[in-house]
Structure 1
């Protein structure tokens, strides 16, 4: 992903005491911050006080094509300075600095100036509904830096989606019709494009056409990442290697940074292998790979990985509750990246569900990534593009024996920065009719997910507590 572009437009009269010295200080602090956080910075050369200077400042900043621009207030401005700001590219932050003297003659009137700016955005540009985020203090003040870090993560997700081209391979799995999403909705809301012109048959042909030399090298790389179990034969491993190469080639040849594949049960029956392990390999290589042709799931993985600045995100089902400790198991067949595994690493195993019995012994299709997720704080989310809804919460993955496939147990649930009980979490999930796939990555970035949703006009699920009577939930809207 490219670097974020952050702009800064100074807004003051030029006659207040200390305003130019503060501009010099802010310019230096932002320059230092751009090096620390690794973003491109443009500081406007035009000091904005009224309409004419604002027009020039907007034109100059738009040539930089910013993702986000601070309108820095360290002095009172007149309202007309905000009229041209509706033409400013990217998102807007209103930033006020503190007065450098707390008695006597008021030096700057900076906070008041930022209030004027906020009022003009809301009431002059009423019908345009221009959102903004406020900041206060110098760059070491928590009211600036903590808030900017949240914004920075949200911006990374916004840009990652704008740059995304997602390949849909085959149709949405039968029975998962509620996951259907229009590519026009994806483009309108995120700027991402969906390439629907790929079939499972194309992938199978690519797999079969791989050279023996390439397959041999891929098998060596696969076995370097994990060992195969006795339930997986050499033929299944060969098909795994071919499918892994086919998906990588498909992504490369079509400029895809993400795919979502109609896997269960399409490819198993038509190719003889479960694709989970190949999807795992793709995720481990840094290409987002979702399951069951779930485009919103892939969108969630793109967002999570960008915000967490992680090597990988993954998709999971919530499958089991242990009432002994109120922990919840998150699981999927076997598509997670190996870098998410605990110290036991990855084993290449057979599928839990697709296969047959020989007597009392289960023989599943090969091959899946069998791993237990490593301990640590995670953030889970589900975004629904068509409904414009987001559910997000934090939890802690901990060591506990788990299911075959990609699996782990979580506890210590959090939502909105506050602890949440299991009963409250179940209420959130059921009452908001959350789709059964959730994305997660390691780290605590729920606030950034909420900010992302707010910029995009997406409603966010809230913990309204647990009750023992029936609730209408979203059906009661």
Structure 2
């Protein structure tokens, strides 16, 4: 991990003496990172793009003026490394106020070496994720479904905030790709998942082959457009080809191509961010029942990544009774419920709970779970960020809060 360390101190101090007193600080940094130290006079002409992180080492009091001289050239956010010697921390506090007053983000790094090591590594990881999000390409295949009236995203606003590129792809391109899928390849995929399934109920082998063709067509589009994620107006598939994208989305998610339903841009963006930040593959679902007294919420959808299911059953699509849907049986474990939304994808909700039961109602989408989610009922009934929310295995609220607090 490469760090640019900007050396900032007052001219009235003897730099050699200061550096000698900071030997243990330098040793800590050099033992854990690849350090390039940069003097104040070199900052304006320096290229910081090759570093994992830039840290401003505030070595002494009276260094505020020198920091102000280079502020406009610094990568954002501004990280200030302050120590307990030479009035370093007081200077850093003054600089922090200076940076905040100019609408930029700053943070002081101060404390024991062990804690700083964890924090700096986390900042480097967050920057990597942030860069990945800013470079991501998300395909919107067809328009968002007509009923997503509360999930509208201002793509220009969102792109300015996150850097993510949203690419419109017509449904006709899916139908065109389907015409070029080799039947034997689709049959091979279908047979593979027919064998893996616990059983097949309403669907047929022919339905499964057609669902496999949809998977192969969407995968080709993802490759052709170099997509990191996609969302599709999937009910159009029902009307046009009498099948669904449920299997396709499940398999794409398992392969690391984030894939969401119904053209829901906010939901698929949340899925992509969640996968990058937590390393887990999320389950996109509808809240279908809320028990406020017990703080229990039922979530359901007709597709779920197979990799997060203990076992799965091949079913028909719930609303239409056609094609292939998936009834996944999920582990009873701790989960995080998460959603990003708002016009510019600037709002979010996160809470931790536990899956306590797999349900099997005939009146809801095929994969159904009951989640105990303390103190969250009011949010869903009063302030919910639209319909779809993500279920992510594990405890991730602290990490999500920490990451998004910087956005």
The TM-score, its normalising length taken from structure 2, stands at: 0.88
* CA–CA separation in structure 1 for the residues paired with 2:3 and 2:283: 29
Indicate the SS of the match to 2:406.
Answer: helix
Shift of 1:251: 0.2
Query: Cα distance 1:401–1:146, how it changes in 2: closer, same or farther (>3 A)?
Result: same
Shift of 1:234: 1.4
* Unmatched tracts of structure 2, length 5 or more: none
Task: Point out which structure has higher relative CO (alpha carbons under 8 A, 6+ apart).
Answer: 2
Q: Does the 8 A contact of 2:340 with 2:348 survive in 1?
A: yes
Say yes or no: does 1:397 pair with 2:354: yes
Shift of 1:385: 4.3
Q: Does the 8 A contact of 1:241 with 1:278 survive in 2?
A: yes
Alignment of 1:270-419 (within 5 A): 270-310=240-280, 312-322=281-291, 325-334=294-303, 336-341=304-309, 343=310, 345-354=311-320, 364-386=321-343, 389-403=346-360, 405-413=366-374
Indicate the SS of the match to 1:237.
Answer: helix
* CA–CA separation in structure 2 for the residues paired with 1:203 and 1:402: 33
Indicate the SS of the match to 2:285.
Answer: strand
1:131-180 deviation digits (Å, cap 9, x = unpaired): 12232224313xx3554566456434422211210111001111213323
* CA–CA separation in structure 1 for the residues paired with 2:145 and 2:103: 38
* CA–CA separation in structure 2 for the residues paired with 1:224 and 1:11: 64
Q: How many residues align?
A: 397
Match of 1:110 in 2: 88
Shift of 1:193: 0.5
Match of 1:45 in 2: 37
Say which of 113, 119, 122 aligns to 2:97. Answer: 119
* CA–CA separation in structure 2 for the residues paired with 1:114 and 1:426: 42
Say yes or no: does 1:92 pair with 2:78: yes
* CA–CA separation in structure 2 for the residues paired with 1:443 and 1:308: 9
Alignment root-mean-square deviation, CA: 2.6
Shift of 1:63: 4.5
Q: Does the 8 A contact of 1:9 with 1:69 survive in 2?
A: yes
* CA–CA separation in structure 1 for the residues paired with 2:4 and 2:390: 32
* CA–CA separation in structure 2 for the residues paired with 1:164 and 1:377: 29
1:211-258 deviation digits (Å, cap 9, x = unpaired): 122113222332354244131111101101101111111101110010
Shift of 1:96: 2.1
Match of 1:24 in 2: 26
The TM-score, its normalising length taken from structure 1, stands at: 0.76
Query: Cα distance 1:54–1:219, how it changes in 2: closer, same or farther (>3 A)?
Result: same
* CA–CA separation in structure 2 for the residues paired with 1:294 and 1:236: 25
* CA–CA separation in structure 2 for the residues paired with 1:180 and 1:267: 22
Say yes or no: does 1:175 pair with 2:147: yes
